[in-house]
């Protein structure tokens, strides 16, 4: 993954460090990636970016996989099921396992990149999730 340097004022630096230290994010890079994905998924930003040829959305279809670890609670499963139902055409495989007090979900996604980004943002918005990893395969 390419590395990009960013200048931040002291308040933003403290805010980022606070989120990471409270275990809301594993590291600063993940926090910033998630923030950018959320920004990209907003309609206002997407429509603005469409006007610039360098930033036109990639219309390519991708295969991606996701691993989600969350507490085995019905409210968490309901949140995840609601999100999954929105993407039922693109989620081609799902495997659910229960380990101790957690459930682990493995999903395979086949669809366009923009929908995958939206799906990732929605899953990341579930506060109770303990760990979430995703990979774009092609």
What's residue 22's pLDDT?
79
User: Which CATH number fits the domain that encloses residue 111?
Assistant: 3.30.70.1150
User: For residue 43, is pLDDT > 80?
Assistant: no
How does pLDDT run across 107-121, given as a tens digit for each residue?
999 999 889 989 999
- 125 pLDDT tier (thresholds 50, 70, 90): confident
Mean pLDDT of 116-131: 90
**Nearest residue to 136 via CA among 38, 33, 66, 52:** 66
How does pLDDT run across 21-42, given as a tens digit for each residue?
877 677 888 888 777 776 765 5
Mean pLDDT of 68-86: 94
Do 116 and 135 lie in a common domain? yes
**3 in any annotated domain:** no
What's residue 92's pLDDT?
95
**121 in any annotated domain:** yes
Do 122 and 69 lie in a common domain? yes
**36 in any annotated domain:** yes
**1 in any annotated domain:** no
- Residues near 109 by beta carbon (within 8 Å), at least 6 away in sequence: 62, 63, 64, 65, 66, 87, 90, 91, 92, 116, 119
What's residue 57's pLDDT?
52
Which residue has tokens 């920004």? 39
**Domain count for the chain:** 2
Q: Indicate the range of 6-15, 16-25, 82-91, 118-127 predicted with least confidence.
A: 16-25
- Residue 85's domain comprises 58-138
Domain stops at, among 57, 76, 91: 57
3-state helix, strand, coil split of the chain in percent (to 5) is 45, 25, 30
Q: What phi, psi does 58 have (nearest 5°)? A: -80, 125
Mean pLDDT of 36-56: 58
**76 in any annotated domain:** yes
What's residue 81's pLDDT?
94
**84 in any annotated domain:** yes
- 136 pLDDT tier (thresholds 50, 70, 90): confident
Do 45 and 111 lie in a common domain? no
Strand 102-112 to 91-99 pairing: antiparallel
């Amino acid at each position: 993954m390419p590395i990009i340097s960013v200048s931040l004022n002291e308040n933003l630096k403290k805010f980022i460090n606070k989120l990471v230290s409270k275990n809301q994010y594993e590291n600063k890079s993940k926090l910033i990636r998630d923030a950018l994905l959320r920004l990209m998924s907003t309609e206002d930003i997407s429509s603005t970016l469409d006007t610039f040829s360098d930033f036109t959305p990639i219309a390519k279809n991708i295969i991606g996989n996701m691993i989600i670890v969350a507490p085995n609670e019905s409210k968490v499963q309901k949140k995840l099921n609601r999100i999954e139902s929105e993407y039922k055409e693109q989620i081609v495989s799902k495997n659910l396992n229960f380990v101790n007090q957690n459930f682990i979900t493995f999903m395979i996604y086949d669809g366009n990149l923009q929908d995958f980004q939206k799906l990732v943002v929605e899953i990341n918005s579930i506060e109770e999730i303990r760990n979430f990893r995703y990979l774009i395969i092609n």
